[in-house]
Amino acid sequence: MIAKSIKASVDPEIDIFIDAIWSHKGLARLTLNAYQQDLSQFSKWLHTSKNLDLVSASQADIQSYLAERFRTGAAARSNARLLSTLKQFYQHLVKINRRKDNPTELIYAPKINRQLPSTLSESDIDSLLETPDLSSDFGVRDRCMLELMYSSGLRVSELVSLQISQVNTNLGLVRLTGKGNKERIIPVGEEALHWLSLYLKQSRSGLIRPGNTNDALFLSSRGSAISRQAFWQNIKKYLLKADIKTQYSPHSLRHAFATHLLNHGADLRTVQMLLGHSSLSTTQIYTHIAQERLQALHASHHPRG
C-alpha cells in the first residue's frame, strides 16, 4: 500500500521506502511526494547513465549525480535536500538487509547560507486583515483564516485541514496535528476568536453545498475543504490589494506571528511550542529578525544612533 494514496513509482524499492517512513514518522503527503520525486529522478539517471538500479548505486555514482545537478544549475539547498533523502533511503536499505553499506555515509551536504524568512510589519498585518470584503461569506471566511493564522502561528497546511471538532470557541483553543503527526494545542487570541465565532455562526452555513457535507472548518466555493493552493492565492491577492511591498511567502503570517511575539517579549521556548518546532534551533532564526528590528529602532530613535 502506497502511503496516503501517493501514485506508485517506477521502482518498487521507492514505494517500500515511502511506506516504511510514513508508518514510522507519519510524514505529510507533500514531504513524501518530495522524497519520491527525488528518488525517482535519481533512479532514472542511474538507469540512463550507468545502467544501474537504486540498490546498486555506489558513493561515486551519487557524487557524480550531485555534481551533474550542480553543473546544470541546481541550488545548494536543493542538493542538500536530495542528499538528505538519499541518506534516509540507503539507511533504510541497510536496515532491511538489502545492502551491507550506506554509500552516502561519507558524503556531506553543501554549505547553505541560512536565509531569514520574510515577515510583515505590524502595520502590514493591520492593512492585510482589513482587506477581505466582509459583505460576502467568502470574505468573512478569509478574514477568519487570516486572523487565525496570525493569532496562532498555524502552517497553511494545518489551517486548511482544520476540522470543526478541532476548534473550541468556549475555551479559545485549537487542537492541531502538525508535522510528524505531532499534536499540539494552541490558544486563539480574542480578535481571532471573535472572527471564528462570527464565521461559524453566520457565514459557514452559506458555503455548504447540497450533497457535499463535511466537517472541514473552512469551505471552498464547492463546499469542500479549501485547498492550500487556493488559500495561498487568496493571501497573494489580499497582499497586493493592501499594497504591501514586502517579499512574502505562504508562511508570511506564521513568520509575523513568531517575530511579533519575540518583539513584544515572549521567550523563545514558548514560541517554539506554539510553532510546533521539534528543535529550538529552528525557532532561533526568528531572534535574528527581532534583533534586526531592535537595531533599526535604535538607529532611528537614539540621539546618537
Catalytic residue positions, numbered: 155, 179, 251, 254, 277, 286
Provide Rg for the chain, Cα atoms.
23
Angle 35-38-39 (CA atoms, 0-180°, nearest 5)? Answer: 85
Number of other CB atoms surrounding residue 217 within 10 Å: 25
Fill in the DSSP letter of residue 11.
S
Place of cell 468573512: 140
**Cβ partners under 8 Å of residue 296, min gap 6:** none
Dist CA 200 CA 276 (whole Å): 26
Fill in the DSSP letter of residue 104.
T
Q: Residue 175 pairs with which residues in a beta bridge?
A: 185
CA 189, distance to chain mean position in Å, is 22
Dist CA 201 CA 215 (whole Å): 15
Q: How far is CA 98 from CA 16, 36, 89, 263, in A?
A: 12, 19, 11, 51
- With H, G, I as helix, E, B as strand and everything else as coil, classify residue 177: strand
Give phi and psi for 158, each to the nearest 5.
-70, -40
Angle 28-32-36 (CA atoms, 0-180°, nearest 5)? Answer: 170
Q: Residue 167 pairs with which residues in a beta bridge?
A: 174
Query: What type of residue sits at position 94?
Result: V
